[in-house]
Amino acid sequence: MYPRSFLAFVTLAFCVSCNGNEPIKQSKWPCWMGNKHDGISEESGWSTLWPEGGLREVWRAEVGIGFSSVSIADGRLFTMGHTEGVETVYCLDALTGKTVWNHDYPSALVDNLYEGGPGSTPTIDGDHVYTLGKEGQLICFRRTGGEIVWQRQLQEDLGVELPEWGFNSSPFILGDQLILEGGRVVSYEKLSGEILWKTEKHTAGYGSAALLTREQQRRIATLDSDAVRIIDPTDGRELDSFPWTSPFRTNSTTPIVHGDTIFVSTGYQVGCGLFRLVDDKLELLYDNRDMRNHFNNSILYDGLLYGFDGNSNFGRVVNLVCMRHDTGEVQWKKSGLGCGSLMIADGKLVILSDDGDLVIAKTNTMEFEEIARATILDGRCWTVPVLLGGHVYARNAAGNLVCVKLPPKTR
C-alpha cells in the first residue's frame, strides 16, 4: 500500500495536470487576437482568488517604446520595440524572459501625438515569424534562430508615403498568403516574399485583415481610413466598399467577422456599424456612437460585444461597454478603467486598464462585475495583454514587459 503522503502528491499532480493550465511550451497565441483571430482563449485552470499582496511577478524585460503585443508558441515569445532610432524584434524565452535572439534595424519613432514605436504584433506561422516595422519594414525570420528568409519595404512595394501614424497592421496568414493593410491591401507569398496582388490606393488604416467564409467562398474584410472593404483573396479584386471615414485618418481596428456579418468600430465620434454581406455587397444593419473604439478592438463573445468607448486624449470619459452584437443595444457601461484593452479567457474578461491594473470580470449581460484586480504595471498601458499557460504577459508604452503568474485553480 502506498503511503498517504504519496497518494496526496499523486492527487495534487492529477489535479494540476487536468485543470487546463497547460505549460507554456504546449500552449500558443501565435498572432494578433490569437489562434482564431477573435481575442478569445479557452484556457482554463487558473484561479481568480488572488493573494492580497498581488500577483507573483515571474520576470520583467525592457523591450523598447511601442505598442506591439506578444505572440507565443513553443515556449518562445515575440514582440517589438524602439530604442534611440533602432527598432528591435525580440524572441524571448516565455518562461524566463531571457533573450533567445533579436534583430535590430534603423527606424523612425513616428511619435505623432503619442509615444510612437512599433504597433504591429508579430505573426508566428510554422517555422517562420513575420514582423512589420513602423516604416514598413516587412521581414520573414526563421523562428528558432532568427535568420532572415526574406524582407520587403512596404513604402516601395505599395508606392505610398509613410502613413501619418506609421505602419501598424499585423500580418494575417491565409494559406500561402501574407496579407497586410497600409495604404493598399497587399498579399505576399509567405515563403518567398513575392507580391501576389495589391489593391488601389486609399488612406491608410492601422488594423489587420479578417476572413469571412461563406458557402466555401473566402472573402477578406478590411477597414482603412476611407472605407470598409470586401476583397477577393484569390486576385485582390475589391468586390464592395462602404464609406467609413475618420476625421483624423486614424481608423485602427480589425473588423469582427461573425457568420455573414462584419462589425467595425472607430473613435473620434465616428462610432460603430454592423454589416451583412449579401452576394458580395455590404448592407448596413445598424450604426451608432455607443461603441467608439479608439485603437483597441472590441471582443465578441456569446452574442455580446465588449470594448472601450471613447478617447481619453480629448478629456472625455472612457467607458468599458457591453453591447448586443445583433442590435447595437447597450447593456451596461463601466468607467474608471481608462482607455484600456481586453481579451477573453475561460469565459471571463481579462482587462488591462490604461494605468496598469489587471482586472478580471464576468462576461455578464446585466452589469459589470469585477472578480479580481492587481496592479502589474505603471505608465501608459494601451497594449492588449495575453493570458497563456497560466501566465499573463503585458507591456506599457515605455517598453516594460512583465510576466505574472496566476494562481492555479484547486479542486
What pLDDT was estimated at residue 319?
A: 95
Average pLDDT over residues 55-61: 98
Residue 303 in this model has a pLDDT that exceeds 60: yes
Question: Per DSSP, what are the bridge partners of residue 179?
Answer: 172, 187
Hey, where are the domains in the chain?
24-405
Write down the pTM of the prediction.
0.93
In the numeric block, the cell 524565452 is attached to: 93
Residue 386 C-alpha cell reads as 495575453
What pLDDT was estimated at residue 313?
A: 62
Residue 21 in this model has a pLDDT that exceeds 60: no
Residue 5 pLDDT class (50, 70, 90 cuts): very low
Task: Report the relative pairing of strands 341-345 and 40-41 from DSSP bridges.
Answer: parallel
SS (H, E, C) the chain: CCCHHHHHHHHHHHHHHHCCCCCHHHCEECCCCCCCCCCEECCCCECCCCCCCCCEEEEEEECCECCCCCEEECCEEEEEEEECCEEEEEEEECCCCCEEEEEEEECCCCCCCCCCCCCCCCEEECCEEEEECCCCEEEEEECCCCCEEEEEEHHHHHCCCCCCCCCCCCCEEECCEEEEECCCEEEEECCCCCEEEECCCCCCCCCCCEEEEECCEEEEEEECCCEEEEECCCCCCEEEEEECCCCCCCCCCCCEEECCEEEEEECCCCEEEEEEEECCEEEEEEEECCCCCCCCCCEEECCEEEEEECCHHHCCCCEEEEEECCCCCEEEEEECCCCCEEEEECCEEEEECCCCEEEEEECCCCCCCEEEEEECCCCCCCCCCEEECCEEEEECCCCEEEEEECCECCC
Residue 123 in this model has a pLDDT that exceeds 50: yes
Average pLDDT over residues 60-78: 98
What pLDDT was estimated at residue 315?
A: 54
Question: Is residue 69 a contact partner of residue 52, using CB atoms and an 8 Å limit?
Answer: no
What pLDDT was estimated at residue 101?
A: 98
Residue 80 pLDDT class (50, 70, 90 cuts): very high
* Burial class of residue 161 in the structure, from the number of CB atoms within 10 Å of its CB (0-12 exposed, 13-18 middle, 19+ buried): exposed
Q: What is the pLDDT of residues 150-183, one digit of tens each?
A: 999 999 999 999 999 999 999 999 999 999 999 9
Q: What is the pLDDT of residues 330-374, one digit of tens each?
A: 999 999 999 999 999 999 999 999 999 999 999 988 999 999 999
For residues 403 and 393, what is the distance between their CA atoms, to the nearest angstrom? 5
What pLDDT was estimated at residue 25?
A: 66
Average pLDDT over residues 378-387: 97
Topology adopted by domain 24-405: Methylamine Dehydrogenase; Chain H (2.130.10)
Q: What is the pLDDT of residues 88-107, one digit of tens each?
A: 999 999 999 999 999 999 99
For residues 240 and 59, what is the distance between their CA atoms, to the nearest angstrom? 47
What pLDDT was estimated at residue 312?
A: 62
Residue 167 C-alpha cell reads as 505602419
Residue 35 C-alpha cell reads as 489562434
What pLDDT was estimated at residue 240?
A: 98
Q: How far is CA 3 from the centre of its chain?
A: 49
What pLDDT was estimated at residue 24?
A: 64
Residue-averaged pLDDT of the chain:
92
- 107: Cβ–Cβ under 8 A, 6 or more apart, which residues? 82, 85, 86, 87, 118, 133, 134, 135, 137
Q: How far is CA 123 from the centre of its chain?
A: 11
Question: Is residue 22 a contact partner of residue 388, using CB atoms and an 8 Å limit?
Answer: no
